[in-house]
Structure 1
Amino acid sequence: MDERVPGSRATAEGDPIVGRDAEADRLSALAAGASGGGRVLLLSGAAGMGKSTLLEYAAGRAEEAGRRVLRASGRESERDLAFAGLHQLLRPVLDEAARLPDRQHRALLGAFGFVSDSPDPLLTGVAVLTLLSQVAERAPLLVVLDDAQWLDAASADVLAFAARRLDDDPITVLAAVRDGDPVTVPAAGRDGGPGFDRGFPTLVLGPLDDAAARRLLGLRWPGLTGRIRDRVLGQAAGNPLALLELARHAPPDPDDHGPLPVGERLAAAYAARLAELPEAGRQALVLLAAADAEDPPDAVLALLPDAGDKAWAAVEESGLIRRAGRHVRFRHPLVRSAIYHAAPFDARMNAHRALAGALRDEPDRRAWHLAATALHPDAEVSAALERTAGRARRRGGYAAAAKALARAAELRPGRDDGARLLADAAGLAVYTGDLSWVEELAGRARARTDDPAVLATASLHVGRLAALTGQHTAGFGELAAIAGDLAATHPAIALDALAAAAVLRFYSGEESQRQEIDRLLPRLPAGPLREWARIVSDPFGGGRELAPRLPGLIAEIARAGAGGRPERLTALAIAAWVLDETPLAVRTFDEAVQSWRSAGPLPDGLGGVVALACFEYGRWDRAREVCAELGALPAASRLHHAVACAHAIEALIVASQGDTAAARTLADGALRLVDPLESRSVAVYAHRALTAAALAEGDYEAAYQHLRMIFGAGGDPVHYHASYPALPDLAESAARTGHHAEAIGIVERAAQVLARGGSPRLCGLVHRSRALLAEPEHAEPGFLAGLAAPALERWPFERAQAQLEYAEWLRRRRRIAEARPFLTAAYDTFRRLGARPWSERAQAELRAAGLDVDAATPGALSGLSPQQQQIVRLAARGLTNREIGERLFLSPRTVGSHLYRTFPKLGVTARSQLRDVVEAAAADG
């Protein structure tokens, strides 16, 4: 099973297990016997948290491992039948009871009513323990108890008695208990299954995090549109059952306020519950259901009956709500939805009016409750929502702003004004990365107007995000057409369209697109945005003229704060990166991300550029974080180019760190997601990653073949910006495989282009490449020229590579004293970055130069957390990540993450060095 694929775990019935990797690993280890026998674990959580799915998964793993599995599931209808649950569990093995001692045999038969003896609870418990032990003699046994809170008291007490006395028997008991029952209230005196409510190790299932909830929804309901999907995600609060139930019954065009509906069965059940309450109690519940989580709790509480009111007491006794300090909440997300839709329409409207009246000091919340009561166009409420959108936008809440504008458009009396608001909403939705939502909003805008500016703006917003799907040729054509059609009448829109087209030119690398941009640019107004389009589409043409002005422009926008359009800050950061002003780009990206204040992927899928900038600047951890954010984009958004870009860049990083298998998996996945002729940039990054993997393994011929995919048959770069950084790798692999002549032709062809407008960094890479391909006696000037650029320290990995290459040349010329400072500097950089293949190569050169290299930092092990020390010690003994995870109840990925973070602290670059660290720590101790 591929642990890297989200949602790859599933039960035998195919139910996906998403967001529960650690829990699934722990249960699997227990069920398969990896942790020994005599284990008990309670799985606790609210209804719908996935307890049954995890139990089924664990049972499947146990059966695969050759274990016997006995199952029982508590049923509310049988909770008053003594020993009903025990009979369900033991029925498949009752023939074994004949081997029990006579008194135990009769006690068990008496419990099941087969003989007239009155059951002795203690003796029955001993009989159950003995029977389970007998069954486990032939094969280790797993006992699975689902919905244990509904087991009858007699069965639960006997099973708990046995579970406490398993000792060394190869028996594992997994029992799922519900934290509370929001659908059927337990009878008085029952607070979970008797005997299983305390004293046993417990694994609590909390809500899924946002990323896992999105993955689960994408797997089960891939066609759910963006607006509805976000509503489902928000209202389900991470509960898997609520996610699927709300998604199953979500209408195609739901109201923008209030909970989504649930199925008829639940709605009918809660309608009956609601009818049983006094009128004041019903009103209180409907008001709570109409209130949102963002509504101030004090304002909501002020509208509810006093704590001593009889109606309120009836509500609390219903088991539908729970109090937590000042907060009053429904016990389950589905309860809120069911109560809201079970209430009469007038009752819901009255609740929203009451909330709007109580929230006069909260204009945003008041606007939404007023909108919920508006059945016809209302200019005043529409304007209030537009103001709400403006405030949300300034806070970086683009999804909330788009939603408010969309509702404002529905309530705006004029069709053209409504269309304008919908187009603006589509523009804000672009920053959520949700293509389906942007398409929906743009389509609604087009249906309401014939205004060419609004129509073009709506199409522009779709094109900006559709660019990340990989259909760059078609998208470029549409955007260029908008720019040409509106250049005279609406130049600002035309310029925005051409800037978006320049991004597509960068993605695709298509030369004819640059020519079209050059044709259109003179027709558009001068200014930074026009120059930006020129930089992105042709950085080695006239684009470098803007480079000296970038710091001032960035500082001016940064001083403007959140109102200074952080998207402009991001655009300037991209320009800085394209022009190899990498430190400025990274600092500006940091400022922009802080301004967005968004936890999701960067707007327009620009995370790929951020990740590359961080990689080049030596912030590899941050680069991988950005790639993970991009790679987790929901499948429904169809942004294949963005995801492929993230995979390719992460592949480049992990290949440089020595994880060649992961690099190939990521790079191959990226190449499968895109058409190399539509997304040349991604194709080049992927082949650069495959090159780095081959170099890490010393396979220079394979590296050269991948590099030839980065430069065309005639030696021209496949991509006008992404190909050039690979020149030194091309030169080194060619020098080691006999492809000198071909590589020299490619390098010299690149040198001619870069001499006209290339950055000092790229010119330095040309010098390095020439030195690697030169005859040994003529190589030194090229090495020195490559290292001479004072700005080379901005790219620490490239600088360390240049230092190592020059030091290797010096040592082979027997100039060892001169080589040592370069080797030491290169080794320190490689070790800091975690570039294992390169640090090992530098380490070998240092030893050849007569220098001892410490394998680890003394005393570093004691500075780790206790769990990290455990992981390091087990890894030093040769255990794999999976084996370590099984021992410590962690997922293999979590183990790998801990090791990844500890390597720099320990001063090591390879797993094989951990034994020295542990032995040194033992000696110090």
Structure 2
Amino acid sequence: MTARHVLLLTAAAYASDPDGPWVDGGLVLRAAARAGLGPSALDAAERAGLERSPDGRLRLPGRRAVYEAAHPARRRAAHRLLAEAALGERLRPAGLLHRALAAPYPDSALGTELAAAARLPGPSHGERATALAHAAGLAADPEVRAGRFVAAADQARLAGRPHRARELLGRIDELTPTDAVRGAAALVRGLLALRDGPMADARASLLLAARLCPGERALDARLAAAEAAWALGDALAYQEAVAGQLSGAATARAFGLGMAAALDDRYAAGRVTLRRVVADAAGAGAPDALLRAGAAALVAGDVEAACRLGSRALAAARALDARPELPRALELLAYGELRAGRHARARTHAEEGLRAARAAGQRNVLAHQHAILALVASLDSDADTVARHAAAAQDIAARHGLVQAATLAQWALARADLARGRAAEAAARLGPLVRPGPRQGHFAVRMLAVPCFVEAAVSAGDLGAARAAVAEFNVWADRGYDPQAGALLARCQALLSAGDPVRADARFTEALARHERAGGDFERARTAELHGEWLRRARRPARARVLLRDALVAFERCGASVWAVRTAAELRATGDAPSHPEAPGRLSELTPQQLRIAHCVADGATNREVASRLSVSPRTVDHHLRNVFAQLGVRSRVELARLVDRAEATRAL
């Protein structure tokens, strides 16, 4: 019997936060002691399935079944013991909740006391949501009940439980709430849709909230509506959301006004304002303030500050148990590291971001993380991996209106095409996104993709489209939004100067010098490779080899194996001889099919392309390629390409 009492007390303790994984072990033990149960009862309960953590928390699998199997009188007795054992201010809401659950009849006064206690510091968001929802049920006044349900929904949102938040919001539909409560409900609905829902719906709810809510809540709603407009790729709607006088915190107001200015002809003033927001974030500790400052840093062109702020936002979200902000912090970090050219770090944060976004039910953030992973995969993975992440991003983007995520995904697919020599396909993907018109890409991303488009268009022979894109890119680069824009502009100009060897060489040289100042291994390596390709075609192989070797080392250093394979092929075309031959005879140990696959991969083909070329399935290619790697003792496609290159060079001697 003693074990059953402890199990019931533990199951009843979950009433404070039904979706929480653990309960306060001290509270349960104090309640057990009041019932005259000693340590042996806890030991018996553990043998019956109760779990105890090193810090004293308790977990009970199957707790709902334990609770529902008990007689109502025994449940009320358990809640009464827990109420008496809930000592101290932190447990005051839990104690009041257990008092209410122990009472045989509703108590409106107790509901008022419970609602007030739920707003005190100490309880978790999940505990506050439960207390407020129960207090709403105890309220006699429909307006009071509606206000408490909305407050409970907001706490459930902050606890990372969007389904529970939506369920609580549904409880106010029949209560005819006041405008103030309607505004608060619209704000919660809009914030939920912002992370997991159509962006147009989120924007409409948030603009309604901005009209109905007072003070800082109205500012929060307008900034969130602007964020929805950003995701939609609607710069005008962004400016409209923050137009006029904004009342509320000075830094938040400055952020909204600075972003709006940066999107129109007042970009210089906007950048100054946004940099002030970044500077003001030095003393910030709240995740939302740090995320806002990180976004300001990205728009102002300070990528390193954005990464630092993203790291601080991530730490703050973890420390404060701010679950809805955790996926957003990882998104900011992943995107910042991507912009900085640190692709391995971007992948690490984006992969963690995928898990966090799934756990929090934030599909919109999930789409952005998939888009970032697609861009990273376009450096070091086969085309199938890029396509898988891009498709996942585009599936959500198409249903929820996420223009930014869709643009990033298309850019990733185009970059994968370009790495494999499919310039016409890459230009066709990016053309509509970088040119003005109804199908253009996201206003904050399309200029970043222009250098990729220019390279593809020049290779495909569409010089007119490339020149038009460079003309607009030149204007954008002058605004200082991207520290690498100057180097990339010079590279684009070099590609367009093929008919003027002196100008082309000078522009490539200028681009490399600018890269040295701006940083970013990948883009510098891309410029060195393109310069080397141009020099080889201009019959200057000695200089070409120097640049191509430099690019190859840089690609290997930053993990861009797909581009390293392409560069190795260019290097072979210059007649570069291996400096440290490595047992090329081992290739003779391969089967004829394995040898054909090895040569195709060394030429830069993807698994799917090899399969098509040899009329086999991609799975067969993958199987043979793993055996080739194992038999030759290589770990990557780059190493395999080098081995094949050395074998061919040896046979040529």
- TM bin (shorter chain): 0.7 to 0.9
The answer (yes or no) to whether the contact 1:811–1:849 under 8 Å persists in 2 is: no
Partner Cα distance (1:325, 1:747) in 2? 61
Q: Structure 1 residues 499 and 447 mapped into 2: Cα distance closer, same or farther (>3 Å)?
A: farther
Partner Cα distance (1:853, 1:907) in 2? 18
The equivalent residue for 2:615 is none
Relative to its length, the structure with more helix (as a share) is 2
The equivalent residue for 1:373 is 102
Partner Cα distance (1:303, 1:287) in 2? 11
Q: Structure 1 residues 295 and 796 mapped into 2: Cα distance closer, same or farther (>3 Å)?
A: same
Matched, 1:835 2:560: yes
The answer (yes or no) to whether the contact 2:130–2:152 under 8 Å persists in 1 is: yes
Partner Cα distance (1:475, 1:534) in 2? 21
The equivalent residue for 1:295 is 24
Structure 1 length-normalised TM:
0.54
Partner Cα distance (1:524, 1:308) in 2? 57
Q: Following TM superposition, by how much is the alpha carbon of 1:399 offset from its aligned partner in structure 2, in angstroms?
A: 4.0
Is the deviation greater in 342-351 or in 463-472? Answer: 463-472
The equivalent residue for 1:333 is 61
Q: Which of 333, 345, 350 is the equivalent residue of 2:72?
A: 345
Spell out the pairing of 1:818-833 with structure 2 (5 A cutoff): 823=548, 825-833=550-558
Spell out the pairing of 1:779-818 with structure 2 (5 A cutoff): 779-789=504-514, 793-810=518-535
Q: Which of 119, 122, 125 is the equivalent residue of 1:386?
A: 119
Matched, 1:517 2:245: no
Tell me: higher relative CO, structure 1 or 2? Use CA pairs within 8 A at least 6 residues apart: 1
Aligned AA for 2:528?
A: Q
Q: Structure 1 residues 352 and 724 mapped into 2: Cα distance closer, same or farther (>3 Å)?
A: same
Q: Following TM superposition, by how much is the alpha carbon of 1:507 offset from its aligned partner in structure 2, in angstroms?
A: 0.9
Q: Following TM superposition, by how much is the alpha carbon of 1:286 offset from its aligned partner in structure 2, in angstroms?
A: 3.2
Q: Following TM superposition, by how much is the alpha carbon of 1:604 offset from its aligned partner in structure 2, in angstroms?
A: 7.6
Spell out the pairing of 1:376-775 with structure 2 (5 A cutoff): 376-377=107-108, 378=110, 379-387=112-120, 390-392=121-123, 398-410=125-137, 419-431=146-158, 434-444=161-171, 450-469=177-196, 471-483=198-210, 485=211, 490-514=214-238, 516-517=240-241, 520-522=243-245, 527-536=250-259, 539-541=262-264, 542=267, 543-557=270-284, 564-597=285-318, 598=321, 602=325, 605=328, 607-632=330-355, 639-675=362-398, 678-712=401-435, 717-756=440-479, 758-775=481-498
Aligned AA for 2:218?
A: A
Q: Following TM superposition, by how much is the alpha carbon of 1:739 offset from its aligned partner in structure 2, in angstroms?
A: 0.7
Partner Cα distance (2:399, 2:466) in 1? 23
Is the deviation greater in 793-802 or in 813-822? Answer: 813-822
Structure 1 residues not aligned, in runs of 5+: 1-276, 558-563, 857-879, 881-891, 918-925
The equivalent residue for 2:84 is 357
Q: Structure 1 residues 348 and 529 mapped into 2: Cα distance closer, same or farther (>3 Å)?
A: same
Structure 2 residues not aligned, in runs of 5+: 15-21, 583-606, 608-618, 645-653
Partner Cα distance (2:364, 2:271) in 1? 28
Q: Structure 1 residues 360 and 319 mapped into 2: Cα distance closer, same or farther (>3 Å)?
A: closer
The answer (yes or no) to whether the contact 2:259–2:274 under 8 Å persists in 1 is: no
- Secondary structure at the counterpart of residue 349 of structure 1: helix
Partner Cα distance (2:543, 2:438) in 1? 36
Q: Percent identity?
A: 28
Partner Cα distance (1:722, 1:732) in 2? 17
Partner Cα distance (2:203, 2:24) in 1? 44
Partner Cα distance (1:572, 1:299) in 2? 46
Q: Structure 1 residues 825 and 324 mapped into 2: Cα distance closer, same or farther (>3 Å)?
A: same
Partner Cα distance (2:350, 2:179) in 1? 38
Deviation sequence 1:27-59 (CA, Å, 0-9, x none): xxxxxxxxxxxxxxxxxxxxxxxxxxxxxxxxx
The answer (yes or no) to whether the contact 2:297–2:306 under 8 Å persists in 1 is: yes
- Secondary structure at the counterpart of residue 363 of structure 1: coil
Aligned AA for 2:489?
A: V
Aligned AA for 2:117?
A: A
Spell out the pairing of 1:893-912 with structure 2 (5 A cutoff): 909-910=636-637
Partner Cα distance (2:184, 2:371) in 1? 32
The answer (yes or no) to whether the contact 2:341–2:520 under 8 Å persists in 1 is: yes
- Secondary structure at the counterpart of residue 391 of structure 1: coil
The answer (yes or no) to whether the contact 1:479–1:501 under 8 Å persists in 2 is: yes
The equivalent residue for 2:585 is none
Partner Cα distance (1:707, 1:326) in 2? 55
- Secondary structure at the counterpart of residue 674 of structure 1: helix
The answer (yes or no) to whether the contact 2:197–2:400 under 8 Å persists in 1 is: no
The equivalent residue for 1:142 is none
The answer (yes or no) to whether the contact 2:307–2:332 under 8 Å persists in 1 is: no
Partner Cα distance (1:632, 1:587) in 2? 22
Q: Structure 1 residues 523 and 391 mapped into 2: Cα distance closer, same or farther (>3 Å)?
A: closer
The answer (yes or no) to whether the contact 1:536–1:575 under 8 Å persists in 2 is: yes
Deviation sequence 1:870-891 (CA, Å, 0-9, x none): xxxxxxxxxx9xxxxxxxxxxx
Aligned AA for 2:529?
A: L
- Secondary structure at the counterpart of residue 521 of structure 1: coil
Deviation sequence 1:463-484 (CA, Å, 0-9, x none): 122134452234323433443x
- Secondary structure at the counterpart of residue 448 of structure 2: helix
Relative to its length, the structure with more strand (as a share) is 1
Query: What RMSD, in angstroms, separates the aligned Cα atoms of the two structures?
Result: 4.4
Partner Cα distance (2:472, 2:637) in 1? 39
Q: Structure 1 residues 509 and 283 mapped into 2: Cα distance closer, same or farther (>3 Å)?
A: closer
Deviation sequence 1:245-299 (CA, Å, 0-9, x none): xxxxxxxxxxxxxxxxxxxxxxxxxxxxxxxx5xx67645533443454222553
Spell out the pairing of 1:36-115 with structure 2 (5 A cutoff): none
Partner Cα distance (2:139, 2:367) in 1? 41
The answer (yes or no) to whether the contact 1:508–1:680 under 8 Å persists in 2 is: yes
Q: Structure 1 residues 442 and 555 mapped into 2: Cα distance closer, same or farther (>3 Å)?
A: same
Q: Following TM superposition, by how much is the alpha carbon of 1:852 offset from its aligned partner in structure 2, in angstroms?
A: 4.7
The answer (yes or no) to whether the contact 2:364–2:400 under 8 Å persists in 1 is: no
Aligned length: 577
Partner Cα distance (1:853, 1:451) in 2? 79
Q: Structure 1 residues 581 and 416 mapped into 2: Cα distance closer, same or farther (>3 Å)?
A: farther
Partner Cα distance (1:281, 1:321) in 2? 10
Partner Cα distance (1:330, 1:549) in 2? 47
Partner Cα distance (1:331, 1:432) in 2? 19
Matched, 1:286 2:8: yes
The answer (yes or no) to whether the contact 2:457–2:466 under 8 Å persists in 1 is: yes
The answer (yes or no) to whether the contact 1:505–1:513 under 8 Å persists in 2 is: yes
Q: Structure 1 residues 599 and 787 mapped into 2: Cα distance closer, same or farther (>3 Å)?
A: farther
Q: Structure 1 residues 593 and 854 mapped into 2: Cα distance closer, same or farther (>3 Å)?
A: farther
Q: Structure 1 residues 852 and 474 mapped into 2: Cα distance closer, same or farther (>3 Å)?
A: same
Q: Structure 1 residues 333 and 360 mapped into 2: Cα distance closer, same or farther (>3 Å)?
A: same
The equivalent residue for 1:148 is none
Partner Cα distance (2:281, 2:405) in 1? 28
